[in-house]
Amino acid sequence: MSTTLTEPTTDAANAPALAQEDVHKTPPGAAPRALIAMRDIWRTYQMGSEELHALRGVSFNVERGEYVAIIGPSGSGKSTLMNLIGCLDTPTRGEYWINGKLVSEMDDDELARIRNKEIGFVFQTFNLLARATALHNVELPLIYAGMSSADRHEKAKQSLAAVELADRMTHKPNELSGGQRQRVAIARALVNHPSLLLADEPTGALDTHTSYEIMNLFEKLHEEGNTIIVVTHEQDIAARAHRIIHIRDGQIEKDERIK
């Protein structure tokens, strides 16, 4: 027995023409030009004798330098989509390419290498080591990459300076405000110079004023050339991006450029 959710109405008029065209014109198996390309992505979970289709035929591109928000209500499939974009999961069906690499067919070890090299993660709960300094927290991806201690220190200092925390590098998370902790997390996400900055509800644990400051920082990072995807359920946070992909019932309901 298969559980199929109600088909939403797709607002094709609002879809970015070039991105949609590229998704369908690039032959299957051929590396696309876009930084991210998803083609007919399905993610199905077996629930006893039933199948739950969390994503159903999702296709879109993200070009280098774009600032995109993915928004949808609880149960819409946006968290599943974020896990696929972040190479934390693989699709049941379809092709996912990032930076010319077909990650939808990679094994766990290959996915781990892609996550460390291509993607910088920013989480709602910061995910910082409580007993480590801000500097050491930012260094972590470089340790996994096998970089020397001296080079790690220098790159981590530069990354903290980029988020205006050069004067807090010896502080531990419990000595920092919520906004400062999120800046440390962003510095950690950027330290490897990833192809994509992927943020999951990055302001969910912050007050309104601090949320505004963090979103200003994302805008600054975008202006500096970073590709950013923010996953959120908050309309005002999504509105800070330059393109919004609306997810509902496992499909793209609307894809619109707003700036």
212/196 Cα distance (integer angstroms): 21
**What's at 257, amino acid-wise?**
R
Contact indicator for 187, 169 with CB cutoff of 8 Å: no
Higher pLDDT, 259 or 227: 227
Specify whether the CB–CB gap between 115 and 88 falls below 8 A: yes
pLDDT tens across 31-86, in order? 789 999 999 999 999 988 899 999 999 999 999 999 999 999 999 999 999 999 99
Class of residue 233 by CB neighbours under 10 A (exposed 0-12, middle 13-18, buried 19+) = middle
The CATH number that domain 2-257 falls under is: 3.40.50.300
What are the distances in angstroms from CA 74 to CA 3, 59, 247?
18, 21, 10
Tell me the pTM. Answer: 0.86
Per residue in 156-213, pLDDT (tens digit) is 999 999 999 999 999 999 999 999 999 999 999 999 999 999 999 999 989 999 999 9
238: left (phi over 0), alpha (psi -120 to 50) or beta: alpha
